[in-house]
Amino acid sequence: MPSCAVTRRVHFNAAHRLHNPAESDEWNRATFGPCNNPNYHGHNYELEVTVEGPIDTATGYVLDIAILKRLVDARVSEVLDHRNLNLDVAWFRDRIPSAENIAVFCWEAIAPALPAGRLQRIRLWETPRNYVEYTGG
């Protein structure tokens, strides 16, 4: 049975501040630079969700991409889009909302809900030049 990887790409924007409350203000400024600015800043995130699995002979799909779209919309976009990640999203109350941690959030939101295939990769673009990848574990 041939396997294939399918990717859904979505956009959201959100505000955040990189700040570790266990460290001093000086440490935070030195570590995070302008990303530590007290009044937050925003990014236009591009998220790529890749699901890998065998091609179902009945449908020719790994999974119906419309199902993947609905799942990503409900579990990621509706939770993160137009939000302040530090203040509005409970998952980040005790985690720094770096691109790395946002990628882990997306993985945990999507992986258990997939009806077919397995989540292979979360790729999150924070700027057009910077992205992070998370593959679980």
Tell me which residues touch Ni ion (CB under 5 A). 35
Within the chain, residue ranges assigned H as helices are: 25-32, 65-72, 78-80, 85-88, 99-110
Q: How far is the CB of 13 from Ni ion (least distance, A)?
A: 12
Q: How far is the CB of 34 from Ni ion (least distance, A)?
A: 8
Instruction: Find the residue with minimal CB distance to Ni ion.
Output: 35
- 106 vs 119 by CB, closer to Ni ion: 106
Quote helix, strand, coil % in the chain, to nearest 5: 35, 35, 30
Active site residue 16: no
Active site residue 106: no
Is residue 131 classed exposed, middle or buried when 0-12, 13-18 and 19+ CB atoms within 10 A define those classes? Answer: middle
Q: How far is the CB of 78 from Ni ion (least distance, A)?
A: 21
Catalytic entry in 35, 46, 78, 108: 35
Catalytic entry in 16, 19, 43, 126: 126
Catalytic entry in 4, 23, 41, 82: 82
Provide the 8-state DSSP code for 63.
S
Task: Sheet containing 130-134: give its strands across.
Answer: 83-84, 3-16, 41-54, 118-127, 130-134
- 8 vs 43 by CB, closer to Ni ion: 43
Active site residues: 35, 82, 126
